[in-house]
Amino acid sequence: MVTIYDVPADDLIEAVAARLEDRIDEPDWVEFTKTGAGKELPPEQDDFWYVRSASLLRKVAQNEPIGIERLATEYGSKKRGSNRYVVRPGEHEGGSRKLIRSSLQALEEEDLVTTASGEGRRLSDEGEAFLSEVATEVFEDLDRPELERYA
């Protein structure tokens, strides 16, 4: 049985994002929001919401139980201020908690993620089956000889 650890992360996230487009709805405000305080502009990807949701689903599967604060730290970046006057080194700023929370709530509505009270979010049984199914399809589509030993 193929798991999320057996396939490359970028291929898995792409495939999960394509599947999530049919299952979850993108909020209206996503095209205007930044991904964190360290960013100056919103993302330019058309399918950003689905890619971020797929990435969050993978992170929850790997690090469960995991909370919003820890996810915001992982999706953060350096805040450098203005590009014109750099007078000191940049500091780490967390990612957008609203974006993460909304995405996880959409995944909860589809029963892919559950909330463990006081601990954070966990992958549900349906979410685990969903990720394994997608990972199996990605593994079969890969044309990489170095991964054949895992088959």
Domain assignment present for residue 51? The answer is yes
Which residues span the domain enclosing 113?
9-141
Domain count, the chain: 1
Sign, Cα dihedral of 22, 47, 128, 65: negative
Domain assignment present for residue 26? The answer is yes
Burial class (CB in 10 A: 0-12, 13-18, 19+), 50: buried
Whose structure tokens read 């950003």?
Answer: 48
The span from the first CA to the last CA of the chain, in angstroms, equals 8
β-strands 91-93, 77-79: how paired?
antiparallel
Domain assignment present for residue 95? The answer is yes
Partners of 112 in beta bridges: none
**What integer pLDDT is reported at residue 54 of this predicted model?**
93
**What integer pLDDT is reported at residue 83 of this predicted model?**
60
**What integer pLDDT is reported at residue 56 of this predicted model?**
92
pLDDT in tens, the chain (151 residues): 788 888 888 888 999 999 998 888 888 888 888 877 777 777 788 888 899 899 999 999 998 899 888 888 888 887 766 666 666 677 788 888 888 989 999 999 988 999 988 888 899 999 999 999 998 888 888 776 666 665 5
Domain assignment present for residue 1? The answer is no
**What integer pLDDT is reported at residue 27 of this predicted model?**
86
Between CA 56 and CA 82 the distance in angstroms is 30
pTM comes to: 0.83
Domain assignment present for residue 67? The answer is yes
Domain assignment present for residue 103? The answer is yes
Between CA 24 and CA 61 the distance in angstroms is 18
Domain assignment present for residue 147? The answer is no
Domain assignment present for residue 21? The answer is yes
CATH for 137: 1.10.10.10
